[in-house]
Every structure is written in C-alpha cells, then in structure tokens.
Structure 1
C-alpha cells in the first residue's frame, strides 16, 4: 500500500494537508480526549487539504480513521467504547448518505464511472450491516472485538480505494464548478443525515 509523504512545513507553517489531517483527528479526540488516536501513515492521496468535495471527504475519512484507532484502544464495555462507537456509527452513516447524494448520484449518470459509483454505494450498505451487527452484540466479548477488527479492516480498505482510485476517476469527469458545488451539498446533507442517523441493531448471520 502506498502511504502519503506529506510536504514539509515551510518556515514553521504546516501544509494544508497536515492541517486538515490534524483538524480531523482533533474532532475525533474531542469525543474521548484521554484516549490516543494513532492512525499512523495514511494512504497517498492528492486530495487531503483540498477546498473541494474530495478534500472534504478525505477530512471525514481521517476523522473515521482516528475514531477506529481510539475504539481499538478501549477495553470491555467501557463508557469510552460505547461513546466512541455511537459516534462512529453516526459519522459513517451520515457521511455515506451525504456522499451518495452529493457525489455518487451524479457520477452514476456517467457511463465511464457508473461502476465505481455502484461499487462505493454497495460497500456503504455492507458497512451499515457490519455496524448494525456490532451494535447488537456484547461489547465486552472477545467476539465483539474480533468483529470490530474486521469492520476496521474493511472500512480502511474502502476509504483507501475511494481516495486512490474512485475519486481520481470521478474527478476526470466532473467540472470544477461541479466539484466546488458538491462540497456545499455534502456539508448540508451531512449535517442533516448525521442528525437523523440511528444506531440500528441487527445480527448479521453470515460473518
């Protein structure tokens, strides 16, 4: 996997990419300030820190990476694990729904990128199922942690694929005006979708 080599700060000033990543991690840490949020090196992407839809989506991805790392650092059915998992569910559900409405609904209409959009949306549904399965199980069990590790692996793969492949392909078929406008749509829909997101509980029989 390629990892990002962020440009060095110039005269003590952080690059936009580093600032965006730090801000995203800080938002995650606000949920449980005493826990570490060690996400390490992140996959290479041209979009981190960009003032458009793709930069905004990567910002959320980094926030989700931090939440996943923080949950992995918790133990048992602790208040921190419960609070962080609730935040993760609302974040991912709100993000995925807004992403589909702001970006993928348009990309679906362009034949060269239809398959990418379908793939991304299908994986969003898979994440919903995995989150509902985790919500229905005992957080204190070793089985919960094993299933969480699988979710983390799958989600990190999903967002890496979006950043390195699907966003790159979509960008080629969108105008600069479309890309700027999509960020506004995403921000509005994310607030609304996150506010209405619910932690559903449903055992997934095939794991």
Structure 2
C-alpha cells in the first residue's frame, strides 16, 4: 500500500533530476531557464504540501519537534537560493554559483530527510496515518504545482 514516504520520494526524484539537468545547462540558455522554472515549481509545491501534511503532524509530537524544525529551516534556505538564482538572469558568473549552491542544498536536504526525518516520523505515525497522508499530500502537491506555476 502506498504511504507518505513513497509519495515524497517521487517528488524527491523529480527534484534530483531537475537539479542535475540545471547544473549541466548553459547559463543564459533558454533551456536552463525552463529547467529552473520547472525546478522552482516542484520545490515550492513539494515544500508546501510536505509542510502541511507531514511536518505539521510531526511538529505536534515532542519526539519530532527538533527534526521537523530543522527540515523547515532547510526549506527556507532552499527558498532563499531560488530567490537569489532568479535575480541572476543575464549574469552567467553569478548564475553558475547559485545553481551549484541550490543543487547542493536540495541534495543535502533530501538525503537528510530520507535518512533521518523519515525514520523519526515513521515512529510517530501509524500505518493508517501514513496512507492517509499520502493521499492528502499527492492531492495538494498537484494543486500547488498549478498554484505556483504562473
């Protein structure tokens, strides 16, 4: 049966793929801008849905407080990198540095989340909750992709 972690890993793989593509794209290239747009949408939609349907649940439990606050802080760091990268259009030297930083922050966050946060939250949630949260997360992720796209 599908659970919240399966659902999250799907978006994580999309994020990893887009980060790889962006680091390989030429700065200033139209393709780089399109990849960045897709990554920006995926990151924002994923973070919103994940914060609503996983982090909020885990914040309510003392055992999950520290790890969920840390994960939220990393989402904020990623958001700041995205904002800085958006300002670098037409500045290839700055663009490349921010692409590397963003890719590093995303990969670090996903690795840490999958290795640590999933284990902590897995002890807090029961199987029924994990399945229910997957459904809610997927629905909100789809909705948020449309909300942040324009």
Q: Which ranges of structure 2 fall in alignment gaps of 5 or more residues?
A: none
- CA displacement at 1:198 relative to structure 2: 5.6
In structure 1, list runs of 5 or more residues that go unmatched. Answer: 1-49, 200-207
Residue in structure 2 matching 1:124, options 48, 61, 75? 75
Quote the Cα distance in structure 1 between the aligned partners of 2:29 and 2:137. 33
Contact in 2 for aligned 1:94/1:190 (Cα 8 Å) = yes
**Aligned counterpart for 1:106 among listed residues 44, 57, 63:** 57
Task: State the TM-score, normalized to the length of structure 2.
Answer: 0.95
Contact 1:53–1:186 (CA<8 Å) still a contact in 2?
yes
- Say if 1:139 and 1:166 are closer, same or farther in 2 by CA, change over 3 A: farther
* Residue of structure 2 in register with 1:45 after alignment: none
* 2:132 matches 1:181: yes
2:59–2:69: 8 Å Cα contact kept in structure 1?
Answer: yes
1:85 is aligned to 2:36:
yes
Structure 2 distance, partners of 1:76, 1:141, is 5
Q: Which has the higher helix share?
A: 2
Count of residues in correspondence between the two structures: 150
Shift of 1:140: 4.8
Give the Å deviation of 1:139. 4.7
TM-score, length basis structure 1: 0.69
The root-mean-square deviation of aligned C-alpha atoms, in Å, is 1.4
3-state DSSP class of the match of 1:150?
Answer: helix
Distance 2:14 2:89 in 1: 25
